Amino acid sequence: MPELPEVETVRRGLVKFLPKSKIAEIQILHPRVNRNSEQSLENAVGAKIENVYRRGKYLWFSLDRGNAIVGHLGMSGQMLITSKKKTVSPHVRAIIRFAGSSAEFRFVDQRTFGWLSIDELIDTPSGEIPECCLHVAQDPFDSNFNLEEAVRRLSDRKTEIKRALLNQKIISGIGNIYADEALWFSRIHPERKIESIPQSELRTLIRNATKVMNNSLKRGGTSFDDLYIDVNGESGYYEISLKAYGREGEPCSRCGTSIRRITFANRASHFCPLCQQAPRTKSKLGKNGVGNRGSKRSSR
């Protein structure tokens, strides 16, 4: 699933092409692509795209009519800028064509959890935001991101740290991959309760998440499941640098202990059982916090 670095890579690709383009035609090829049932996407025909913005995993193209086309990649969405002449693949869900251009925008989505919609732009202290994104917290790439506020929002939660990291109302943009990576770098077990973690460690955790996502952005993101690509169809190559995510059974690059995978909050979590000590379950774990393969907490 694309996370902040992947969506930002897509935004950077789109911003090279879309601003000043006048929308000449919008073709909807799958009914699920238009999320806003009240307003048809085709209403944007004739509008000019001003710029391409992002908050967390949401992207939007501001239009010269005070509204925006908002998009979310969902699990497998791709936004491509491609030649009109290129064959339209079966997973293309929408096409936007522009006046006087030989290239077009294609929204490709194999699993159809992604969407596009037209939404009003709302004035906020941090600029104009589409109405459907107002609930999304600022992400660490945002110039208005406030680390101390994010630490406070995190520490207010009475839940496990990984669950809170994935909550887009606290900090947006972090998904399963970068949550596992940030926790590994911070030596924090994903199931630890937030109240057991000192604020200084929460601060370091957010800094680590930002650092990991910045490093991934420099490499064009992580194309772990081969579905994520940039606007030109290229894969990112950060997966070679991943320390925990997807590394089950491989030695931790810090201590050599096998990385473990557990199911937590309906998702896979990957961590080093030695570097990232489990909370209050020492009885279940052997010496050095290394659990038995057959225990309830072992990989599935």
Active-site residue set = 2-3, 57, 267
Residue whose CB is less far from Zn ion, 44 or 242: 242
Closest CA to 183 of 205, 155, 150, 153: 205
Residue 238 beta carbon to Zn ion: minimum distance, rounded to whole angstroms: 20
Nearest distance from C-beta of residue 279 to Zn ion, angstroms: 17
Q: Which residue has the tokens 């989505």?
A: 109
Taking a C-beta distance cutoff of 8 angstroms, is the pair 77, 112 a contact?
Answer: no
Q: Closer CB to Zn ion, residue 91 or residue 247? A: 247
Q: Is 254 in the site for Zn ion (CB under 5 A)?
A: yes
- As a whole number of angstroms, the distance between CA 32 and CA 188 comes to 39
Q: How buried is 246 (Cβ within 10 angstroms: 0-12 exposed, 13-18 middle, 19+ buried)?
A: middle
252 binds Zn ion (CB under 5 A): yes
* Binding of residue 73 to Zn ion (CB under 5 A): no
Exposed/middle/buried for residue 90 (C-beta within 10 Å: 0-12, 13-18, 19+): exposed
Among 171, 202, 212, 272, binds Zn ion (CB under 5 A): 272
Task: Return the amino acid letter for 56.
Answer: G
**Site membership for Zn ion, residue 99 (CB under 5 A):** no
CB of 186 to Zn ion, least distance (A): 12
Instruction: Provide, rounded to whole angstroms, the least separation between the CB of residue 271 and Zn ion.
Output: 9
Q: Which of 218, 255, 263, 292 binds Zn ion (CB under 5 A)?
A: 255
Is 20 a binder of Zn ion (CB under 5 A)? Answer: no
Q: Are 199 and 149 in contact (CB under 8 A)?
A: no
Residues that bind Zn ion (CB under 5 A): 252, 254-255, 257, 272, 274-275
